[in-house]
Structure 1
Amino acid sequence: MISNTIDQEIKQAMLAKDQAKLRGLRAIKAALLLAKTEKGPSEEITEEAELKLLQKLIKQRKESADIYKQQGREDLSSIEEEEIAVISAFLPKQLNEAEIEQIIIKVIQLSGAASVKDMGKVMGLANKELAGKADGKLIAEIVKRQLA
């Protein structure tokens, strides 16, 4: 579970006075606490939900960094990119496009999908198979390309 590791990492970052890492870790901890309170005190967050949460945090920071770059605010953009690096360290190794494509081809064969009409079924299976290992937008592009 990521939440156990985060507390240890926060302590180490505090001792090392690593502000960038501390910001990223605190963002993860805050998001995890929020998710726990939404679920209720008796339910634990699954590892899959944690991965989705981390991907969401990275996506938000990428969008913010892009906006800051467009506005010429490199100082704020670099802060977002530092946090992305910290958060990304808790995700599984990201697959490259060729590896993703191989997995999607297998998923399409197993599901029996024949056309773009079957995209929803394939996306559901592909997202389960590639959870935390690939960006959803890239998965969708590859599935669409394979089914076309």
Structure 2
Amino acid sequence: MLTEQISTDMKTAMKSKDAATLSTLRMLHAALKNKQIDLLRPPTDDEAMAVVKTQIKQLREGVEMAQTAGREEMAESGKREIMVLEKYLPSQLEDVALTEIVKDALAQAGAVSKADAGRAMGAAMKAVAGRADGTRVKAIVESILAVFALLAVFALSSDPANAATKNAEVVVSSARILRIFLMLMGIVSVNFIIMGAISIMSASGRDHGHHHGLQQIAVGIFGTILTAGLIAIASATIMKLD
């Protein structure tokens, strides 16, 4: 069990006099004990994993606050703690593999529109099983649902008779709304690239901040390219029917 592994690692850190690792694991151990008290039983691996993720999230927030305040020593300490805890997380998926898993999960859940966003996220996060950050999963889910919506609009516009039957004005209005949504998604994607660049510039070459920054840039580039293509298709649809 994960809790047993953490206890074993604590003993190892104690024997090797690794004070930094020991301090981090003691903090995690205390959080797991609190979870056990709340549950009135030992936490399962999934529940323990959730505690680890919460601790990492809190540490990341602390690192960001320390960096904003110019307290680099505190920020570096937080990054080292994050690295200690991250080894208990599943290996993180690359963007291509993550996209395929999310696509399959959405197909199985029957999620095909923005109205299905909640169900889509639930299915995607379950399929990913902790192997990717929720922010990355959400960006891909929203992109895929946007593609589905655009394909539906484009299918109507490609058949003039069908478009007339379905009311071309409704199709055009839908395409315009979708284009606005995609533009907002594009802004979010560009922001990912900017934040990733900032993370890399403020991190040393081999720490968590550098790796996290690269992930943000990759997601941002993927989102920017995808939304740009979809905006072009939406614009073509509007020009065709308007």
- For the Cα contact (< 8 Å) 2:102–2:128, is it kept in 1? no
Amino acid at match of 2:74: L
- For the Cα contact (< 8 Å) 2:59–2:78, is it kept in 1? yes
Residue of 83, 99, 102 corresponding to 1:101 = 99
- For the Cα contact (< 8 Å) 2:60–2:78, is it kept in 1? yes
Deviations 1:20-77 (A, max 9, x none): 211221121111101000011xx33121111111111111111110110111101100
Post-superposition offset of 1:80: 0.6
Correspondence 1:71 to 2:73: no
Deviations 1:109-139 (A, max 9, x none): 1112111110111111111111221111111
CA distance in 1, matches of 2:48, 2:128: 14
Query: Which is greater in Rg?
Result: 2
Instruction: Return 5+ residue gaps in structure 2 as ranges.
Output: 147-242
RMSD, aligned α-carbons:
1.1
Matches within 5 A, 1:59-138: 59-138=57-136
- For the Cα contact (< 8 Å) 1:48–1:131, is it kept in 2? no
Amino acid at match of 1:20: A
Deviations 1:55-110 (A, max 9, x none): 11111111110110111101100111111000001111111222211100101111
Match of residue 143 from structure 1 = 141
Match of residue 21 from structure 1 = 21
CA distance in 2, matches of 1:58, 1:72: 21
- For the Cα contact (< 8 Å) 1:6–1:25, is it kept in 2? yes
Instruction: Return 5+ residue gaps in structure 1 as ranges.
Output: none
Amino acid at match of 1:57: Q
Match of residue 53 from structure 1 = 51
CA distance in 2, matches of 1:146, 1:50: 31
Question: Which runs of structure 1 show a deviation greater than 3 angstroms over 4 or more consecutive aligned residues?
Answer: none
Amino acid at match of 1:70: T
Amino acid at match of 1:15: K
Equivalent residue pairs, number:
146
* Corresponding residue SS for 1:51: helix
CA distance in 1, matches of 2:16, 2:72: 25
Aligned-residue identity in percent: 33
CA distance in 1, matches of 2:10, 2:52: 16
The structure in which a higher percent of residues are helix is: 2
